[in-house]
Amino acid sequence: MARSLWKGAISFGLVHIPVEMYPAVQNHTLDLTMLDRRDFSPVGFKRYNKNNQKEVSWDDIVKGYEYASGEYVVLSDEDLRRANPEATGTIDILAFVDAGQVPLLFYEQPYYLAPGKGGDKVYALLRETLRKAGKVGIARVVIRVKQHLAALVCVGDTIVLNTLRYADEIREAGELKIPASDAKAAQLSDKELKMAMALVEGMSEEWRPEEYHDTYREDVMALVEKKVAANETKAITMPGKEKAAPSSGNVIDLVALLQQSIGKKPGKAAANDDDEEKEEEAAPAPKTRKAPAKSASKTAAKAAPRTAAAKPRTRAAPAAKAAAPARRKSA
């Protein structure tokens, strides 16, 4: 486990729970280095003084707030801590709300909270209370130099602090062209909804997060290994022709596409189709008119050995009908 990035206490009412905060996620990004394409040397960035253009070391860098053009107030880490010691040292729970009331759109970054020294019992008390009440604690916390709104959530045996976005940070979706929420207004038929529900039911399974992984990163790393093996370490692949994106204009029969998606050919009725489709499926096939006797006797002699060739005989019937009048005239 990584070292704790914050130490303080959870505070609600008169209760204080000493805790330590740890990152709950780790990023597996592609660590690509920028190179000069002329000689493939790494490209670096310098911290420099904009007045004299000289490089500045980390030891000489301080933080400042620009209160007027070109005028700054220098703020050290100690200044930031002293500005509000309570805010920087506590996770202050403001309210408890039902877990389902916080939209997923608000959740931002998760952190594990572990009990600090002497905090095991009160930590367990808060955890079990959240679990049994089905609530999350809405709190404020300062991480580094920014105050966050946060939700304390019970995940298994651990209390997770998940930073939340403020309401004014969520953009309104009103400007987007979104289909109407009413099925009829969105021109969705009952048949399409039933087929979509059948597809969802067929693809439903238990949540197993270990089965999902970053396939794109794996493919890129496989390409890297392939280039190394082929000694193409400094070969630049030029852009090729891009595949045309699938056009939504090609979608003609949504039900047919849904049927294909659940492993059925278009034309076959789904198990949960309406009664009208079942009646059509159960209806007898239309009877074909028999060919005249003369032509039938000749064709029957040829078709006699093939007892299972019912379909070819019915297809040949129209030709026999057309040939019959010609024979009568010649006779």
Could you read off the pLDDT of 52-100 as tens digits, one per residue? 999 999 999 999 999 999 899 999 888 888 887 777 889 999 999 998 9
Inside any domain, residue 243: no
Non-local (6+) Cβ contacts of 269 within 8 A are: 277, 278, 280, 281
Residues of the domain holding 191: 182-201+258-263
Residue 113 placed within a domain: yes
pLDDT in tens, 234-262: 878 778 776 665 555 554 577 787 778 88
Same domain, 109 and 190: no
Is pLDDT above 70 for 125?
Answer: yes
Buried b (16+ CB within 10 A) or exposed e, 222-232: eeeeeeeeeee
CB 127 within 8 A of CB 157: yes
What is the pLDDT, as a whole number, of residue 264? Answer: 59
**Token duo for residue 48:** 């420099």
Tally of domains within the chain: 2
Query: Quick one: CA dihedral 286, 292, 295, 298, positive or negative?
Result: positive
Cβ distance 253 to 189 under 8 Å?
A: no
Task: Please report the pLDDT score of residue 244 as a whole number.
Answer: 65
Would the pLDDT of 139 be above 70? yes
| Structural domain ending residue among the three candidates 263, 287, 315 | 263
Weakest-pLDDT range from 81-95, 211-225, 265-279: 265-279
Domain-embedded: residue 280? no
Higher pLDDT, 114 or 188: 114
pTM of the model: 0.65
Query: Taking all residues of the chain, what is their mean pLDDT, rounded to a whole number?
Result: 78
Let me know if residue 221 belongs to a domain. Answer: no
Residue 310 lies in a domain: no
Give the contacts of 328 (CB within 8 A, at least 6 positions apart): none
Q: Based on the fold, state whether residues 195 and 141 are members of the same structural domain.
A: no
- pLDDT digits 0-9 by tens, 163-192: 999 999 998 888 788 887 777 777 788 888
Residue 88 lies in a domain: yes
Query: Considering the domain boundaries, does residue 50 fall inside one?
Result: no
Q: Are residues 67 and 157 in the same domain?
A: yes
Whether residues 135 and 190 fall in one domain: no
Same structural domain for residues 120 and 18? yes
What CATH number corresponds to the domain at position 16? 2.40.290.10
pLDDT at position 250: 53
Last residue of a domain, one of 263, 291, 314: 263
Q: Domain check: are 69 and 125 in the same one?
A: yes
The reply to whether 125 and 22 lie within a common domain is yes
Whether residues 187 and 125 share a domain: the answer is no
> pLDDT band for position 124 (50/70/90)?
very high
Last residue of a domain, one of 244, 263, 282: 263
User: What pairing do the DSSP bridges indicate for beta strands 6-12 and 90-98?
Assistant: parallel
**What pLDDT does 140 receive?**
94
- A 10 A CB-CB count for 30 gives 10
**Is pLDDT of 155 > 80?**
yes
Instruction: Judge if 72 and 103 occupy the same domain.
Output: yes
Tell me whether residue 102 is in a domain. yes
What share of the chain in percent tops pLDDT 70?
A: 76
Domain match, 124 and 82 both: yes
Q: Are residues 116 and 22 in the same domain?
A: yes
Per-residue confidence (pLDDT) for residue 168, from 0 to 100:
92
Give the amino acid at 37.
R
Residue 101 per-residue DSSP state: G
What burial class does residue 168 get, using C-beta atoms within 10 Å of its C-beta: 0-12 exposed, 13-18 middle, 19+ buried?
exposed
Residues 135 and 99 in one domain: yes
β 90-98/135-143 pair status: antiparallel
Please check whether residue 10 is in contact with residue 17, taking contact to mean a CB–CB distance below 8 angstroms: yes
